[in-house]
Structure 1
Amino acid sequence: MKIFIAGASGAIGRHLVPQLVARGHAVVGSTRSAAKVDALRALGAEPVVVDALDPDSVAGAVARAEPEVVVHQLTALSGPADFRHVARMAAATDRLRTEGTDHLLAAARAIGARRVVAQSNAMWMERTGGPAADESVRIEPHPPADAARSVAALRHLEDAVTGIAWGAGIALRYGGFYGPGTGISAEPDAVMAGYVRGRRFPIVGGGGGVWSLVHIVDAASATVAAIERGTPGIYHVADDEPAPVRVFLPELARALGAKPPRRVPAWLARLVAGEGAVSLMTRARGISSGKIKKELGWTPRYPTWRTGFAEGLR
């Protein structure tokens, strides 16, 4: 198929493009940076520079590509993390999940694309219920005030993509990424790994927030499955072991050769990072990926983060 990937130079795009090319697909990959054009070409994509917040730029690029499938992997999460200003840090990605989504959908509809696959995430599943949510669970309807804009942006993306009537709209709720090219890897410039090594990523309160994780290579292979044979709706993409922060974070520190994480009380973290960050560390729910395994035959290379941390960070 001819596939247009918006945000192809991002963490998942760098693994998704070569997997699609290896399976015989023709890929046009967009980036907002001309400096990344050569890297995209080396991965096997036809590169194009696009401003995702400019509807004319998006429409022109998609029209020239004439893809059968449009893939939305747009974020603005690279660079240093600023936990003292979480909402400000997320603002650019929020716009890509609202305005950027709308521009891509309009462009895809105009050229008759038959499928759209978009990146959502599973960090804001509704905070009531068991530790692992399936696809019937909604995004948290009453998030903390400092996370409300970002949660609303996720909701907008999912509703807009899965609501299209002219093609198959698929939203992928990924677990937290780790592995090469992400913030959690053995690479020296991996941002979150640097925080773990510096003991600046603490366990907050009791560390009871349950996170689902997924190796970036597995996230890409799940995306390939959705592109090739997914049906309209939502799929969860994560490994088989949702775990509380207090369980996986010390193991991550050990895998990175770091000292154990510090512990800080929730009230202090709330003062420094806000209520949204505290909710993620203390109240988050994991996800179950049974649907994508059953319907699309997806099997992760790293079925648990324990193996992934030991073998897959490099």
Structure 2
Amino acid sequence: MKIFIAGASGAIGGHLVPQLVARGHEVVGTTRSAAKTAALRALGAEPVIVDALDPDSVADAVARAEPEVIVHQLTALSGPPDFRHVKRMAEATDRLRTEGTDHLLAAARAAGVGRFVAQSNAMWMERSGGPVADEDGRIEPNPPADIARSVAALRHLEEAVTGITWGDGIALRYGGFYGPGTGISAEPGAVMTEQIGRRKFPIVGGGGGVWSLVHITDAASATVAAIERGKPGIYHVADDEPASVRDWLPELARALGAKPPRRVPAPLVRLLAGKGPVDLMTRARGVSSEKIKRELGWAPRHPTWRTGFTEGLR
């Protein structure tokens, strides 16, 4: 198939593009930066520079590409997490998940695209119903005020994509990425790895928030499965072992050769960084990926972060 990947130069694009090319697909990949076109070409994609917030730029690129599938991987999450300025840090990604999604969907409909696959996020599942949610679970309806705009942007993306009637709309709720090309890897410059090494990524409160993680190559292979044979709706993409922050974060620090993470009282973090980061660290729910395994035959190469941290960070 001919596949148009919006945001192909991001973390997942570096793994998704070569997997698709290896399977015989033709890939057109967008980037905002001319400096990244050579890297996309080296991966096997035809690069195109697109401003995802300009509807005319998006419509023109999609019309020229004439794809059968559009994959929405647009984010603006590079750089170190700034928990003291959560709203400002997330603003660009929020616009890509709202305005950017709408522009891509309009272009897809005009071009007769049959399938639309979009990146969502599993970190903000509704904070009730047990430690692990399946796809029947919804995005948290009452998030902390300082993160409400970002959660609403996720909700907008999912509703817009899965609500299309002219094609197959698929939203992938990914767990937290780790591995080469992400912020958690053994590569120089990996931003979260550096923060963990400096003990600036602490366990907040009791660290009881449950996170689902996924190696970036597994996230890419799940996306390939959704592109090739997914059904309209939502799929969770994560490994088989959701775990509390207090369990997985010390293991990650150990795998990186760093000192154990500090422990910081929740009220202090709430005062300095707001309620959103505290909620993620203390109330988050994990997700089950049984649906994508059952329906699409996907299986992660790293079924647990325990081996993934020791074998898959390089």
TM-score (norm 1): 1.00
Offset of residue 242 of structure 1: 0.1
Name 2:202's counterpart in structure 1.
202
Name 2:9's counterpart in structure 1.
9
Name 1:130's counterpart in structure 2.
130
Name 1:150's counterpart in structure 2.
150
Counterpart amino acid of residue 118 in structure 2:
A
Q: Deviations over 1:74-127 (max 9, x none)?
A: 000012321110111000000000000000000000010000000000000000
Name 2:43's counterpart in structure 1.
43
Name 2:179's counterpart in structure 1.
179
1: CA distance, partners of 2:144 / 2:80: 23
2: CA distance, partners of 1:290 / 1:105: 28
2: CA distance, partners of 1:118 / 1:313: 25
SS in structure 1 of the partner of residue 138 of structure 2: coil
Counterpart amino acid of residue 104 in structure 2:
L
Name 2:81's counterpart in structure 1.
81
2: CA distance, partners of 1:218 / 1:272: 35
Counterpart amino acid of residue 175 in structure 2:
G
2: CA distance, partners of 1:206 / 1:79: 27
Name 1:32's counterpart in structure 2.
32
Name 2:286's counterpart in structure 1.
286
Name 1:277's counterpart in structure 2.
277
After superposition, residues 210-289 of structure 1 pair within 5 angstroms as 210-289=210-289
2: CA distance, partners of 1:129 / 1:138: 11
Counterpart amino acid of residue 31 in structure 1:
T
Offset of residue 230 of structure 1: 0.1
SS in structure 1 of the partner of residue 74 of structure 2: coil
Counterpart amino acid of residue 97 in structure 1:
R
Counterpart amino acid of residue 246 in structure 1:
R
Name 1:64's counterpart in structure 2.
64
Counterpart amino acid of residue 137 in structure 2:
V
Q: Deviations over 1:207-229 (max 9, x none)?
A: 00000000000000000000000
SS in structure 2 of the partner of residue 107 of structure 1: helix
Sequence identity, in percent? Answer: 84
After superposition, residues 296-307 of structure 1 pair within 5 angstroms as 296-307=296-307
SS in structure 2 of the partner of residue 172 of structure 1: strand
Structure 1's consecutive aligned runs of 4 or more residues displaced over 6 angstroms after TM superposition are: none
Counterpart amino acid of residue 12 in structure 1:
I
Q: CA RMSD in A?
A: 0.4
How many equivalent residue pairs? Answer: 314
Q: Deviations over 1:127-154 (max 9, x none)?
A: 0011110000000000000000000000
Q: Deviations over 1:260-295 (max 9, x none)?
A: 000000000111211000000000000000000000
1: CA distance, partners of 2:193 / 2:271: 23
2: CA distance, partners of 1:203 / 1:81: 15
Is residue 184 of structure 2 the alignment partner of residue 167 of structure 1? Answer: no
1: CA distance, partners of 2:33 / 2:292: 33
Counterpart amino acid of residue 100 in structure 2:
G
Question: Which consecutive residues of structure 2, in runs of 5 or more, have no partner in the other structure?
Answer: none
Counterpart amino acid of residue 239 in structure 1:
D
Counterpart amino acid of residue 5 in structure 1:
I
SS in structure 2 of the partner of residue 180 of structure 1: coil
SS in structure 1 of the partner of residue 116 of structure 2: strand
Counterpart amino acid of residue 13 in structure 1:
G
Counterpart amino acid of residue 141 in structure 1:
P
2: CA distance, partners of 1:128 / 1:89: 27
Counterpart amino acid of residue 237 in structure 1:
V
Is residue 91 of structure 2 the alignment partner of residue 91 of structure 1? Answer: yes
1: CA distance, partners of 2:188 / 2:145: 34
Is residue 312 of structure 2 the alignment partner of residue 308 of structure 1? Answer: no
2: CA distance, partners of 1:193 / 1:284: 21
1: CA distance, partners of 2:108 / 2:66: 9
Counterpart amino acid of residue 71 in structure 2:
V
My pick for the range that moved more, 44-53 or 266-275, is 266-275
Q: Deviations over 1:45-83 (max 9, x none)?
A: 000000000000000000000000000000000123211
1: CA distance, partners of 2:192 / 2:172: 23
Counterpart amino acid of residue 106 in structure 1:
A
Question: Which consecutive residues of structure 1, in runs of 5 or more, have no partner in the other structure?
Answer: none
